[in-house]
Amino acid sequence: MISFVVNCCSLPIPDRVELQGSGQSKIILEDLAIGKNYEIIVRPFNSQGGGPASSPVPVYVGEAVPTGAPRDLRANPVSATEVRLSWRPPEADRQNGDLLGYKIFYHHTSTYCGT
């Protein structure tokens, strides 16, 4: 029986997945870090040991939708027709890439919702 080892290297420590059985030739590597470069190597092995590795294939795992919300949103009236907004960006580990900006949504309400 031939099996395969998939090495996924994003320095400093490579991760490794073992596929048992020669019938498998596809895998989805999960839980990779967003916005990082990886190097993928596949190497067959059997009961006698490991064979030669494939040539390394570089791959970039791109950005994902931010999973964190803006923090500390504040709204202060400036005039009868203007409001000044301020906030802090989402936590860095929840931005999932470079933020390009913010979309601000607002609508008129008939009640005051402040404290």
Query: Taking the domain 3-61, which CATH number applies?
Result: 2.60.40.10
Instruction: Report pLDDT for 1.
Output: 41
The DSSP annotation for the chain comes to --EEEEEEE-TTS-EEEEE-STT-------SPPTTEEEEEEEEEEETTEE-PPPPPEEEEE------S--EEEEEEEEETTEEEEEEEPPPGGGT-S------------SS----
What is the average pLDDT across 50-67?
85
Residue ranges, comma separated, of all CATH 2.60.40.10 domains in the chain are 3-61
Q: Supply the pTM of this predicted model.
A: 0.54
Q: Which one has a higher pLDDT value, 25 or 69?
A: 69
